[in-house]
Amino acid sequence: MNKRKSRSFKLGDIARRFGGELIGNAEVRIHQVSTLQSARSTDIAFVAQSRYLAQLNQTHAGALILGPEARTASSLPRIISANPYAYFARVAALLNPAAAVKPGAHKSAVVDRSARIAKSAAIGACAVIGKGAHVGAGASIGPGCNIGDGASVGTGSRLYANVTVYHECRIGARCIVHSGAVIGADGFGFAPEDGNWRKIPQTGRVVIGDDVEIGANTTIDRGTLDDTVIEDGVKLDNQIQIAHNVWIGANTAIAGCVGIAGSTRIGRHCMLGGAAIILGHLTIADHVIISSGTVIMKSIDEPGTYTGFYPFSSHQRWRRNAAHLRQIDDLAARIRELERRLAKAQGNHS
């Protein structure tokens, strides 16, 4: 755990703020969140899965957050919540608030005269704000960021160091964009011509809604003609590639190293596991879960969980199985021929 915060709350105050059933001493003062293993007497820990209940006997936590099924699993002061994980997230945010924005521009920042910067916004060292750009109230632009001409960053959004937002792109309110992210680079658009590739100008934008979080070194390409759109509440992990003209629906969460090819539309409340690959020009329905490492090659019209990866095995066994897979078409043809002969033979005996 990082340096302990001086901020603390009584357990009863936490329960009054966030709800839940309080059992035990409401006067216990909580200074920090922690794991069951490393918790101190001034920490609060949580259990969201039954397999961790056995660790309750060894924890030194001062209080716990438990689900209804575990309300009697410990004698420690505890808050019972239907969703312990989300409750823990709320408490963690309460005890670890983001650093306050200190308004003003660093003397090394380069801000174009035509840019509109709210008085309560902060512009970090060596940041560059382009012509006609807009930075909203309470927004924080970290060191080395580049906000292109005509781009905008909404109220209360926070861009960490070295984020690049290309021209005319839009970031909504209360967004978090981590270091190294690139918003609005050209999409991969090239037309073949006489053995060469002719670049297609990418004239769309990237439009990002409110309350979106974008991980470190994630890249979101601008649209070719229409915009690339990330709706409200989307959560993107590190090192994700989102190609031109992709549309991601509200409150979808995407884990690291996912690649989404151009012009694909992903629905709302979806979850994509790490390293999943979504091919281009597909449509994914709302409430779809795609497992890690899965390659999606056609549209998904129904909600549900979709998995498509080859289980790992020893290298020698994998090679044998791969060799068999190469013969699937031939085997299928042979089976069809056998079925045809069997049907013919049965017809002759009838």
Any idea which residues carry the catalytic annotation?
A: 244
Question: What is the C-alpha to C-alpha distance for residues 87 and 64, in angstroms, rounded to an integer?
Answer: 11
Taken as a whole, the chain contains a residue count of: 350
Q: Which of 166, 153, 32 is nearest to 92 (CA)?
A: 32
The 3-state secondary structure of the chain reads CCCCCCCCEEHHHHHHHHCCEEECCCCCEECEECCCCCCCCCEEEECCCHHHHHHHHCCCCCEEEECHHHCCCCCCCEEECCCHHHHHHHHHHHHCCCCCCCCEECCCCEECCCCEECCCCEECCCCEECCCCEECCCCEECCCCEECCCCEECCCCEECCCCEECCCCEECCCCEECCCCEEEECCCCEEEECCEEEECCCCCCEEECCCCEECCCCEEECCCCCCEEECCCCEECCCCEECCCCEECCCCEECCCCEECCCCEECCCCEECCCCEECCCCEECCCEEECCCCEECCCECCCEEECCCCCCCCHHHHHHHHHHHHCHHHHHHHHHHHHHHHHHHHHHHC
Looking only at Cα atoms, what is the longest distance across the chain?
A: 95
